[in-house]
Every structure is written in C-alpha cells, then in structure tokens.
Structure 1
Amino acid sequence: MKKLHLLRAHLINAVPGLARDPDKLLTFVEEGSIEFRRGPNLTHEYQFTAQLVLTDFADDLDTLMVPLLQWLAEYQPDADPNEAVRFEAEILSHNAVDVALRVQLTERVLAKVNCDTGHIQVDHALPRFETTGCPPPRWQMYTRDTQANADYTLAAEWGAQGETDDGE
C-alpha cells in the first residue's frame, strides 16, 4: 500500500501543522479488499479505505483539503467525486479539532510469474497524472476571510510531489 505512504508524506510536506508535528497524523487502513483474476499471473489490485486522523488540528481546514484534493487529482483521478473523501470532526476547543478523513484508494500490483526461473517480479503501478501543463516547483496557498473583507494571506506552502523541504 505504497499510495498511503505517498499520501502521508505529501500531507506532512504540505500542511503546516503536520510539517511541525508529523505525529499528529495517524494513518489506518479499513475495509480493504484485493481484486484479482484467476490465471497464470498474480497481478492484483488493493482497494481500501484509508483513514487519516489529524489530532489537535489548529490550522484552517483548507490547508488540509486543498493538498489532499491536489494529491487525489494526480494519483487517484478516477475516484468518484461523491465517494472519494468523507470526514468527521470533533471540536476540541475554539481553535482545535480532531479530524478523521476516509479516502477511497486503489493500487494496482503487477506480479509477473516466470515459470522457467521460478521468479515472480512485483511492481506497484503508481501512475501520476499531471493536473497542470507546467506545475511550479513550490505551491503556495492563500486564504482570506471574506466576511472581514481582508486581503489574502499565506496559509500553506509545499514542494511539488517528490520534492523535500530542502529542494531535492
């Protein structure tokens, strides 16, 4: 389930509160199944609900949802928009919540059997679908309080997929 690891790393990189304290993001798999076909190869697909729990989350919820939706557009573009993400929240205080997300994911595993050598070669198919023609090296998300008629303020910043904070 390499997609869940990729999603976790992306959120830790993108969400300011998680970048400061990654232990506030708990990840689980629930309702998992494996789809396969009978035959000589062992290719299969994981289908599961990833549960991501953010504890004591004090950032704007958009700083979580926008990077999540960006990741889904690139790694799970065939997700049903009505079913892909579900969430619950428990209000802890005026500025902190626990948020539980349920994200529907699939991951194809290519397992090729070579009967002559007795080898099975396994590859996880993790295609990435570019969502823009020229993605910038870093993303910056700006929000504003429209009720206060305020200007946009920087709420979150993160590197492109696969980039670390030091630019590599």
Structure 2
Amino acid sequence: MKKPGLLRAAIAALYPAYARDPHKLAMWVERGTVRATGGRQRGFAWEYQLIVLAEDFTGKPEGLFFAVVDWLRTQQPDLIQPNTQGFPFEVDVIDDKTFDVKMTLPLREVVTATPVAGVGALPGGWQVEVQPEVELFPDAAEIGPGLTSIWVRSNGDAPVQVAPDPEA
C-alpha cells in the first residue's frame, strides 16, 4: 500500500510538526477488500478505508482539509468529482485553538502482476506492482502542444474549464 505513506508525506510537507512528531498523525486501514477479475490478468485491486487522525492540530482545520483534498486530486481523483459523496470526518474541539481531526478516506489501489524470472520476483515468478492513479487533473504544462484547455459538460450544464485551472 503506497497511498498512506504518500498522504503522510503530503500532510507533513505542509505541517512540519507532523514530520517531527509522527505519532501525532496516526493512520490505519479498516474494512479492506480485495477485488480480482479471475481472468487472465492476475492482478487485483484493494479497496479500503484509510483512517487519518491528526492529533493536537493547532492550525486552521480548513488548511488540513485543503491538504487532503489537494492530495486526493492526484491520488484518488474520483473521490472529489462533482456529485460524489465525499468523505466523512469528525473533529474533537479540545480548546479554541486545538483540535483532533479524524477523516475516513475510501481509497483504492490497483496492483498488477507480471510473470518474470530472476531478481525481484515473488516465488512462482511474479512481479507485483502498485500502479499510479490515472491523472484526471492535468497541469497546464502537461496538456500538450496544440491543446490549450480542457472543458467538461455534465447533463446539459454549461461547460466548465478543468485544465489549466482557471483560478490559478
């Protein structure tokens, strides 16, 4: 599982106190499931609830949520699409400047399996690898030559520009 470590790094980058005191940023997995197709592709996907508990958070809670939502843009973009359910959270208000924040993030990671021989192979000759998330929000620099923006339309609504970010 790569996503818990990636999220921890993203939060610690914005809030260095969690890098200095990592036990204050607890993460654990609940209700995990493995899904496989049973077909020729021997890989699978694991889906799980990542519980994130930021203890003694003294910043603005909206900053912490921004860090998580921004991370979700690249690591679980389907979770922040229009008309999705989002993710649940709880906040324990310790005093007017200190909070314990608990978030439950429904995450998914796809694992591929490739037959190989030699170093790095699992017993039986397989290499398994967690695949990166498909990018739904390209940066302006990555749009490509000749393409200047990306727009989407949903259910007859007016088109909305999604790349490059019109507010950037």
CA contact 1:89–1:98 (8 Å) conserved in 2: yes
Shift of 1:83: 3.0
Whole-Å separation in 2 of the counterparts to 1:20 and 1:94: 23
Counterpart of 1:63, as a letter, is: G
Is 1:121 the counterpart of 2:127? The answer is yes
Q: Which residue of 2 aligns with 1:103?
A: 105
Distance in 1 (CA, whole Å) between partners of 2:58 and 2:29 is 24
Q: Which residue of 2 aligns with 1:38?
A: 38
Mean CA deviation greater in 13-22 or 89-98: 13-22
2:68 maps to a residue whose letter is L
Instruction: Name structure 1 gaps, 5 residues minimum.
Output: 136-168
Query: Which amino acid is 1:124 matched to?
Result: V
Distance 1:32 1:92, change over 3 A: same
Structure 2 counterparts to residues 15-34 of structure 1, below 5 A: 15-34=15-34
After TM superposition, which residue ranges in structure 1, 4 or more long, deviate above 4 angstroms?
none
Q: Which structure's relative contact order is higher, taking Cα pairs within 8 Å and 6+ residues apart?
A: 1
Q: Percent identity?
A: 28
Q: Unpaired segments of 5 or more residues in structure 2?
A: 143-168
Q: How many pairs align?
A: 134
Q: What is the RMSD computed on CA atoms of the aligned residues?
A: 2.4
TM-score by length of 2: 0.70
Give the AA of the match of 2:131.
A
The answer as to 2:133 corresponding to 1:133 is no
Q: Residues 54-133 of structure 1 correspond to what in structure 2 (within 5 A)?
A: 54-79=54-79, 81=81, 82-113=84-115, 118-127=124-133, 129=135, 130-133=137-140
Q: Report the equivalent of 2:148.
A: none
